[in-house]
Amino acid sequence: MQIVQSLFYFLVAAICEIGGGYLLWQWLRGGKALGWAILGAVILVFYGVVATLQPASASFGRVYAAYGGVFIVLSLLWGWQVDKVKPDRFDLLGAGIALLGALVIMYGPRN
């Protein structure tokens, strides 16, 4: 059950980071109002809090390294669904490798 909860936190953190970053992107590059940037910044702060909810046994470095793989996969999915840029086979291969690495880093057996 701890792994399911940890995966949930990774998912929420990724949505917050990608969503917050997307709002800032829209403000800076899309000409959106300042409110988009402020909301994006608040969501990014929330992302930082969510990441700390990982199990107490997980170190900062391990959590953030593993999160990188989750972030890669969800960023491609975000781009596909929001920006309508379909991932190609190399995107999918790279994302799969990164996700596998993240799972090994976070949930591999420890001595």
pLDDT digits (tens, 9 = 90+) for 78-90: 999 999 999 999 9
> Does residue 90 come out as left (phi exceeding 0), alpha (psi in the -120 to 50 range) or beta?
alpha
Q: 35 is in which domain, residue-wise?
A: 2-107
Name the band, by pLDDT with cuts 50, 70 and 90, for residue 24.
very high
Query: How much is the average pLDDT of 5-28?
Result: 95
* Average pLDDT value for the chain: 94
The count of domains in the chain is 1
DSSP H helices in the chain: 2-30, 34-51, 60-82, 89-107
Name the band, by pLDDT with cuts 50, 70 and 90, for residue 14.
very high
